Structure 1
């Protein structure tokens, strides 16, 4: 391979950075030679403004730098692709067991005010150049056994962005506060967490000090950097780009968030009700999971106890909120509230079958960029919680016939290197259709300006309850039952078959009048732990903790139903997280340069008479709750027989209903998959009140829905 013709500077052809730089793997351990590696790798410790752990020194944030050697040698200034991923320095894989262990444990009182110690910055005693630092680098700084997860090495995402390295970009990775090698605490959804990654951008832009050592004595500059940064990543790593964008930090030119969270409250909850997986409802679970700093052998017992006390206090603070929105607890993680600060562009990527990070999140992010006036584009695929290229699984899907990384390359080449390639001419929405995954459609705007109303022809009332056994439902078959019939747990309202195709685009709003029919209010509706949740997390919906009635839940589904089985792409596991893929072309995803290709894949389909298009959860105790997360702050005490108006906003979708198919609105009580606290109650629905406003892509006539054979 060494007879290849390489370049010392980036080369752009057809608007894309070309793979003209040599590559050396960073996972070679003892065989890694910093003196000859074509990719220069080293770690720095960026100084923050905070002293979260109260040791009298500003907390440092460990950062892994990978950059083509030519840039470090001074032949050009490299732009940076930055992944802020709290998992990347290791995880605590015993999270579920840990939550049970600490449920009844006593900790010292931790005062969140102590996180705000004002400490003067360090004064460096010397400096070191990037090349000098890299020549001293030990690969065990970035590739080592993960003590919290014995089945992996860290950074396991080390080569996720090799495509960009051979094209001249620097690749920057950090796990932020609370991770191994960094100081501070992992504080999910906080300003501290957001700012840790903001500080890294500032260092890359030349506005902040980083050190070559954990003690913070020898400073080092990113003098190979052109100061321009793009942030990307999926899930947690797709959340932090949006969080940092809302600070307006200089140097952040664009973000490419994949399945990123816009608001932590509505990631965990929805209109006053539980939304997420039962065992992971406390933010302290995720904070512990990402706190690889627990494995820092240099920490004293007191320091370890301080981390644990902080996490326990984080649990207690959330328990006071129950499932309702509280501005003090959730406000910092409601990033969309700061749309006015955004100064960068965005290429927003989301799977329409993602039930981990809901599609509501991408839509709220999109709306924030609309408010900001900044350029944004959206790519929507039919997959679950994935990136269109999955390096760790050796496959990728094509985006309208193109490689995903080529699209990102075009985007960041424009924003980081100023290449005039027409990247901004992309349509606002590029979406893979649900009826043919090879077909992609475009829209000039996510907002359609059209809606179709589904209005009930029903009369009288329907009563639904929470008796799973009588309904014959479980976590394994809930969607199957809901999609096909009414039961004691759910009432379906179904349209006549459509004569022509109709495309839904946006957020469906279900309106209804409902009342609590029956239930043991005095005893919190006799709660049961059906999903083996730890006792601490189980206190989330307890009136004894929050002081109010909470989580009298309804689950709402919009389904595509047909008398004949049809092919569709949908998740196949009870947790609704997996859509299998099939290889259609080995080596079909080209990475270029010295890098191996990935397989081109397509999503597997299932053959059923229904497909859940979108869903939502809401608490009858929160009739004021609407689309915006903060509207779920006020809850009421339900009284039997007292009706209230509800407006339930389902997760955003883009879906075409084909001729001969019908839409079914399903109003249910509990969803066993997402049910942390099983309660015994029944709800009465005014059938005539049920209607839904459905955004559609063109003018479409309204339709009636009829209650099918309910046993209510």
Structure 2
């Protein structure tokens, strides 16, 4: 029977209980947070006007002095563009701050649509890139976008993860907490205070921005309650090198020139020289890399961490996530994780509605103090296939255990075997480094012996086999020349539909229609182009990889020339992942030399002989050795599949914002 039109009446008791619940949520919040907008059912609501919001710029003193070419020392101030609720300021309510510190606001833009900051004729900020301001300011937050030192309207120099970078953002957190000085202009004496904030700060950002969040958290700065690093670096050495092997052309000095302001280009020749001299392309560990290694300082992190990463990110590889995550776990940091199957892509463009909702609840809890249960929700959300997600209460799962698998010789022209039984003494396999081939070529020929790689596969699996975390491969190899690079990859041999991470969008397609997330003004729209998964049908998937320079077998302090004919042992770390090899598929380990498009070649082109009896792969298997035994029980060797498609990696990589 149809319902009558008209107003639905809510029982008096229900309305009273709802109001009481909202009041209790406010009263339960920590000091300062209770002044923010009240929650309804533990969630902040858009009760403030975005159109009337206060928009201003403050220049914060970083505590660094830098000498210009003329010789005078000048205090370095960084520009902070702020948007915050006017009604909260007028009523004396103090609000927390969501902060994104970035070098990209004028050179390159942020997000899938490369949004840049814009200003009116008086220099007041108009457009704040990304949706954070549109969505969160009406809900009782301020949003602060920081120009890192040497970029856009900030003083100082770009030093790519060093003291200028980190103190740019840390000083702003200190200013918001009343511990640093801010000014109403770039050079003037008039001070600006942050008496409108609770001092609770959450940092967020993708790529370099998320890296800054990691670095600032590693200082232990007071007031930083949470960080949300997306595709972020945890150690800058590992961005440019993989165990001594060079990964990208150029170095941090060229990246600094890419983002710096015209003033910095003129005034920062000394910093440019320090970056060039401190980062030689030989892969040696230097003091410059020591300063930019945030993993070693993970014990200082007080903030909670919500980490997001694309498992096929070949720009900021998941090694950064894995080592950071493990260090945080060892130090008992509260944390949450999302893993997507895309490349270097923001979750806003992978799983938009769920992302905005989850981020909303995360900030409500850690910045406003609302008891909404987000910290008790499953720790991990993992994309298994395009738009198909699973959750885990703990990541990696508690039953995960490092499981030793051994490569062994095969028969005829087929691949070697991969199993739990070590190879007989004296067993070996050889390949010749071919810098023109890479992981997609090797995976495509996994079932055939080819000159450029050695491949080892399991039998077809009787059950699904899940790898969760970081792997490592201990190799003993004998080179024929004085230098050599090594690559190891894990491959799922079997058909699948995946996000096409090797395509231009790295797993997404951007459409023309838009969806809106918050309030808009004529100069700052809350509406963004919708995205969908860009998929590919493949016959095999490379899902983890690692690289190394054999000349650094003894450590990263110094590259050593190799003695041809002498065996060397090296443990090669593979990037973190969470991948299920389905029943009927096979797991493959491939060992090769230069990974084309990802690794710079060595000085020579060696032939490498792998001692299989002294080679072991330690894989993080959920269920450990017993799970592998069950998955491979009764299996028979597979017939070669004769080819098929593998997603090809880009032929060259550059840093992507």
Given candidates 69, 72, 75, the residue that maps to 2:89 is 72
Tell me, yes or no, if structure 1 residue 83 matches structure 2 residue 100.
yes
1:233-273 Cα offsets, whole Å, 9 max, x none, are 10001111111111111111111111111111112111111
Distance 1:667 1:708 in 2: 21
The residue matched to 1:48 in structure 2 has which SS? strand
1:515-552 Cα offsets, whole Å, 9 max, x none, are 112x3x4xxxxxxxxxxxxxxxxxxxxxxxxxxx6xx2
Distance 2:445 2:173 in 1: 47
Distance 1:90 1:74 in 2: 38
Note the aligned Cα RMSD (angstroms). 3.0
Given candidates 600, 610, 630, the residue that maps to 1:676 is 600
1:255-302 Cα offsets, whole Å, 9 max, x none, are 111111111111211111123xx33x401111111212x1x4xxxxxx
- 1:76/1:554 CA distance change after superposition, 3 Å: same
Partner of 2:545: 615
Tell me, yes or no, if structure 1 residue 286 matches structure 2 residue 255.
yes
Partner of 1:108: none
1:38-59 Cα offsets, whole Å, 9 max, x none, are 1211111101211123532311
Given candidates 314, 317, 323, the residue that maps to 2:278 is 317
User: When the two structures are superposed, what TM-score results if normalisation uses the length of structure 1?
Assistant: 0.74
Q: Which runs of 5+ in 2 are unaligned?
A: 1-34, 110-118, 410-425, 641-657
Partner of 1:57: 74
Contact 1:89/1:179 (8 A) holds in 2: yes
Partner of 1:29: none
Contact 2:55/2:124 (8 A) holds in 1: no
Question: Deviation of residue 484 (structure 1)?
Answer: 5.9
Partner of 2:172: 200
Tell me, yes or no, if structure 1 residue 16 matches structure 2 residue 33.
no
Partner of 2:402: 451
Partner of 2:189: 217
Question: Deviation of residue 78 (structure 1)?
Answer: 1.2
Contact 2:101/2:205 (8 A) holds in 1: yes
Question: Deviation of residue 501 (structure 1)?
Answer: 0.4
- 1:672/1:56 CA distance change after superposition, 3 Å: same
Question: Deviation of residue 693 (structure 1)?
Answer: 1.4
Contact 1:430/1:443 (8 A) holds in 2: no
Tell me, yes or no, if structure 1 residue 556 matches structure 2 residue 488.
yes
The residue matched to 2:74 in structure 1 has which SS? coil
1:163-200 Cα offsets, whole Å, 9 max, x none, are 11222211101122111322111111213321111000
Partner of 2:470: 507
- 1:502/1:306 CA distance change after superposition, 3 Å: same
- 1:688/1:508 CA distance change after superposition, 3 Å: same
Q: Which structure's relative contact order is higher, taking Cα pairs within 8 Å and 6+ residues apart?
A: 1
Partner of 2:654: none
Q: Which runs of 5+ in 1 are unaligned?
A: 1-7, 25-37, 93-135, 144-154, 297-302, 391-395, 522-548, 626-631
Given candidates 310, 329, 352, the residue that maps to 2:288 is 329
Question: Deviation of residue 568 (structure 1)?
Answer: 2.3
The residue matched to 2:345 in structure 1 has which SS? coil
Partner of 1:102: none
**Paired residues for 1:415-564 under 5 Å:** 415-434=366-385, 437-446=387-396, 448=398, 449-458=400-409, 460-468=427-435, 473=437, 478=441, 481=444, 485-517=448-480, 519=481, 521=482, 552-562=484-494
Q: How many residues align?
A: 567
Tell me, yes or no, if structure 1 residue 379 matches structure 2 residue 379.
no
User: When the two structures are superposed, what TM-score results if normalisation uses the length of structure 2?
Assistant: 0.80
Distance 2:60 2:342 in 1: 36
The residue matched to 2:164 in structure 1 has which SS? helix
Tell me, yes or no, if structure 1 residue 254 matches structure 2 residue 226.
yes
Contact 1:274/1:617 (8 A) holds in 2: no
Question: Deviation of residue 20 (structure 1)?
Answer: 2.4
Contact 1:492/1:707 (8 A) holds in 2: no
